[in-house]
Amino acid sequence: MAYAALRSIGAYAPKNILTNEDLSKMVDTTDEWITKRTGIKERHIADKDEHTSDLGVEAGKLAIERSGIAKEDIDMIICATISPDYFNMPSTATIISNKLGLPPVTAFDISAACTGFVYILSIAKAFIESGMKKNVLIIGAEKLSAITDYTDRGTCILFGDGAGAAVISATDNKEEAIIDIHTGADGTYADLLMTPNGGTGSPHDSLEQEAGACFMQMKGNETFKVAVRTLTKDVKEILAKNEIESSSIKHFVPHQANYRIIKAVGDALKMKEEQVVVTVAKYGNTSGASIPMAINDIYENGTLKKGELLLLDAFGGGLTWGSALVPFSPIK
Ligand code: ACO
């Protein structure tokens, strides 16, 4: 049986930066409130003509280059996004695939909000272990600024744009293999986070879109509580099932939504500060891109080394959640 290994990581953040100070001129908020309640200081915002696929392409290029695998050998691409270039079709994955000049391989998007990267990691693992695919490019890419209501201070302070990508490849070496991935969802909480407009649940009855309905809406405080509970429970389960102590985790990479959530979960798991990867201050919440962008940060600053064990933990709209135990296994 083939195993699936994380070969490389790449990420891209658009050049424009929106600071807390900038936001305080747009809505009734302050740098102090945002910093204290979320830990976010700034977020990157794509240009008007820079689409989600463009962010994904930049991250994907880096991940392919760093993997040492020729792009002609990539046989599937999956994109996790809630801000696709086009709703419904074509998928952002097919657009990215074309822009990267990949062969005509299997390409599709999935929608699992902030858990998107853990979901596509699990899909890549399953395709590789079944022998159907050998080298899968997975990309979390979001232009959340396009679906954010910049008159709603409860959400606009949180979100940013960016992309992160990884190449997952077949290996015979069990030491290199992704150890385990858990994913779950509970639709009873569907109304905590949603973008109501345009689907069959809330179809357009004219070409005029109802103001605000195409933006993300969130019950922030309720979401916060469910997030802490779910993230902690999920990680405890995956560690117990695999008989791994939290002290053996070199890098705990939680979804970057809010520093207070990260801190509460880290403390509940008895993680030391140096184990927990925190990038929320500079990127905000980039949904499906947040985990690979955070892994890329520790790769680029030299903290992440070959063979080290990553624990990923995500939570998002749906509600969805997921966790993964992943050794970093570059070929070089
Ligand atoms: N500036 C100043 N005051 C604000 C702001 C703001 N930006 N936003 C809200 N407030 C006010 C509220 O109006 C409220 O005022 P009141 O007491 O007079 O009514 C007060 O601050 C407290 O509001 P809460 O919503 O209770 O604040 P909370 O501490 O919960 O923080 C936040 C809000 C930051 C949104 C937090 O709830 C959060 O991070 N939630 C989770 C987000 C998340 O994890 N989402 C999941 C993933 S996202 C995805 O899947 C796409």
CA of 84 to the centre of ligand 1 (A): 26
- Residue 134, pLDDT > 80, answer yes
Q: What range defines the domain where residue 70 resides?
A: 1-332
Name the DSSP class of 331.
Answer: -
Instruction: Tell me the DSSP string of 112-142.
Output: -GGGHHHHHHHHHHHHHHTTS-SEEEEEEEE
Mean predicted confidence (pLDDT) in 271-295? 97
Mutate which of 23, 37, 263 for ligand 1 pocket (most atoms within 8 A of beta carbon) = 37
pLDDT at res. 278: 98
Contact at 8 Å (CB) between 164 and 10? yes
Find out whether the beta carbon of 154 lies less than 6 Å from any atom of ligand 1.
yes
pLDDT at res. 87: 87
User: Using CA atoms, how far apart are residues 274 and 303, in angstroms rounded to an integer?
Assistant: 10
The alpha helices in 201-289, defined as continuous H runs, are: 220-241, 259-268, 280-283
Q: For the chain, list the strands marked E by DSSP.
A: 3-12, 16-19, 42-45, 76-80, 106-110, 135-143, 161-171, 180-185, 193-194, 217-218, 251-254, 309-316, 320-327
CATH for 295: 3.40.47.10
Q: How many domains does the chain have?
A: 1
User: Using CA atoms, how far apart are residues 218 and 316, in angstroms rounded to an integer?
Assistant: 11
pLDDT at res. 206: 56
Residue 81, Cα to own-chain centre: how many angstroms? 8
The pTM (predicted TM-score) of the whole model is 0.96
Q: Over pLDDT 70: what percentage of the chain? A: 97
Mutate which of 145, 222, 223, 313 for ligand 1 pocket (most atoms within 8 A of beta carbon) = 223
User: Using CA atoms, how far apart are residues 240 and 321, in angstroms rounded to an integer?
Assistant: 17
pLDDT at res. 207: 54
Mean predicted confidence (pLDDT) in 144-151? 96
Which residue's CA is the closest to the ligand 1 atom numbered 27? Answer: 221
- Residue 211, pLDDT > 90, answer no
Could you count the other beta carbons within 10 Å of the beta carbon of residue 259?
17
